[in-house]
Chain A
Amino acid sequence: MTNKIKVEHLDFYYGNFQALKDINMDIHQNKITALIGPSGCGKSTFIKTMNRMFDLIDGTKATGSISFDGTELLDKNLDVVQLRKRIGMVFQKPNPFPKSIEENVLYGVKRHGDVPKSEWDELVKTSLKKASLWTEVEHKLNQSAFSLSGGQQQRLCIARALATKPEVLLMDEPTSALDPIATAKIEELLEELKKEYTVIIVTHSMQQAARISDYTGFFLNGELIEFGLTKTVFSNPTDKRTEDYITGRFG
């Protein structure tokens, strides 16, 4: 089992408030890791440390270590633009830009400027295919992204993230705004994506975590209470707090 990311003794603060407390976790390559826990437990904060999204918020501080293939992500001198190319993110609500479908896919690619223009058409096609959206949009690439349904918009956002050829995909409740059919399509897509990418997904749906992930981490009050194989966490958790949460008896 290859570790893609190794988190050691990670503490995170919003001002004086400590949002993450001594987190230790190994993220395995080409596996889906689900993070579960009640609102405000720190799971979204945790994935935002992975691509340094917290740099955008004043007064935040992270200590400890996040090693990504040997590169220290908390290093102040790290090129975060390059980092976010390697670690892409998909958010809770589909957030396409007010541009065409094609321009949305190419947005990050154009920004990074490292793919020749001659390869753009092929990149749009492969990214949309990987996001299982190609057959639905191949004849309307110039139409506005807003013409798509919510589920299609979210897959477009996944295509946009894939176009920069990341190694890791961070997903923050990517299906919470979608209907069950669109959710099923994203989940099916994740099964395919993990062959090429390492996926970390925050979800409030216990069943989704159980269905799609290989590993599950349970967060509570900024602590990682339990982390292990999903099949173990959901069949025989070791911590009573995990048991209470996943069986709906929390609090």
Chain B
Amino acid sequence: MVRIDVEIEEFKAEINLMASKVRKMFVLALEVLHTGNKEKALSIVELDEYVNNANEEINDKAVEVLSLLAPVASDLRIVIAGIKISTDLERIGDYAKAIARFVIKNDDLDPQLLPFVDPIGNKFITFFDETMKAYASRDVKLALDLPSRDDEIDSEFKKMINYIEKLTEEKKDITALVPTIGMLRNIERAGDHTKNICENIIYEIKGQHYDFG
């Protein structure tokens, strides 16, 4: 195996490891939204430290590969895509941390909106898992198909918005619901970043730019 193969393999392994930590953060975030468990929420904040460091290490590794091995063609695209994917993973981690910090600082969420958490959250986790599967297996077809999953998340989010609108029409006070809307918005935004990862997987493999919006 030539040296660049070894370095690229390590580079991608670091991204996959970072993704597994981000996934863990989100699974915990969905759990603490229900349980309000502040100790587990704190562990999400701690994991975010790990994820932030991983992002910096991946960038350092990219600089090392670029400066020492001067990659071209598919090797170069793996490095460029990897830098961007790592940034998106870091942002997804931030959304999980935002949920954790809210749970740590506040009392339980208003139970009215909790039924919306799992449909949105589970769809996100599946989308994220499939995306990282496409990354690991360099499956461009899967990466092209996946962004439609984000529409499913948006559609679940819209159901919640419709529910809120209905309450507003009925002149009900929704003030207590605002924090929960924000937490669900975090999941929806994490879906947008996962869509970006799909774009970068396609760039890595095909060298073509796709914009899924």
Instruction: Report which A residues bind B (CB closer than 8 A).
Output: 206-207, 210, 234-237, 242-243, 246-249
Contacts and interface: CB of A to CB of B under 8 A. Distances in A.
Interface stretch (B73-81, B90-98, B136-144, B146-154): B73-81
A235 B208 CA distance: 11
23 contacts: A206-B72, A207-B70, A234-B72, A234-B73, A234-B76, A235-B72, A235-B73, A235-B76, A235-B77, A236-B73, A236-B77, A236-B207, A242-B73, A243-B73, A243-B74, A246-B73, A247-B71, A247-B72, A247-B73, A247-B75, A248-B2, A248-B4, A249-B5
B180 to A, nearest CB: 46
Contacts of B5: 249
Nearest to A244: B73
Contacts of B74: 243, 247
At the interface, is chain A mostly helix, strand, loop or mixed? helix
Nearest to A207: B70
Contacts of B77: 235-236
Nearest to A233: B73
Task: State the 7 A-B residue pairs at the shortest beta-carbon distance, nearest first.
Answer: A236-B207, A234-B72, A246-B72, A243-B73, A247-B75, A247-B73, A237-B73
Contacts of B4: 247-248
A234 B77 CA distance: 11
A243 B4 CA distance: 14
A6 B2 CA distance: 38
B73 to A, nearest CB: 5
At the interface, is chain B mostly helix, strand, loop or mixed? helix
Contacts of A247: 4, 71-75
A92 to B, nearest CB: 23
Interface string B55-78: 000000000000000111111110
Nearest to B5: A249
A248 B73 CA distance: 11
A72 B134 CA distance: 53
Interface string B1-16: 0101100000000000
Contacts of B2: 248-249
A78 B71 CA distance: 45
A246 B71 CA distance: 9
Contacts of B71: 247
A108 to B, nearest CB: 38
Nearest to B70: A207
Contacts of A237: 73
A248 B76 CA distance: 13
B141 to A, nearest CB: 19
A17 B154 CA distance: 66
A207 B72 CA distance: 9
A102 to B, nearest CB: 40
B37 to A, nearest CB: 48
Contacts of A248: 2, 4
A131 B74 CA distance: 37
A236 B78 CA distance: 12
A246 B73 CA distance: 8
B98 to A, nearest CB: 37
Interface in B100-148: none
